[in-house]
Homo-oligomer: A and B are copies of this chain.
């Protein structure tokens, strides 16, 4: 699943539930020659499960903005 360059899109469907709290990390993959759309893949805490997110969903944008601003200090 995470071997860097993939030869096709990795996401078939996206998660509709807002799962921001359970996200350990998020991968942003810009559209490229292998996939026509930006793909966002979240890895969940605890399970390590990978879940595709919709780049256009407002909650996804909010989660990303929140991560960009988060500091524990």
A68 with B28: in contact, given A2-B2, A4-B48 (CB under 8 Å)?
A: yes
Judged by a CB distance under 8 angstroms, whether A13 is at the interface is: no
Interface of chain A residues 13 through 39 with chain B (CB within 8 A): 23-32, 36-38
Contact-size category for A = 20 to 34
The chain A residues found within 8 Å of chain B, CB to CB, are 2, 4-5, 23-32, 36-38, 40, 43, 48, 55, 61, 64, 66-73
Apart from A28-B68, A38-B70, A38-B71, what 11 extra A-B contacts exist at CB < 8 Å?
A: A4-B43, A4-B48, A5-B24, A24-B32, A25-B27, A25-B29, A28-B28, A31-B71, A61-B68, A64-B64, A64-B68
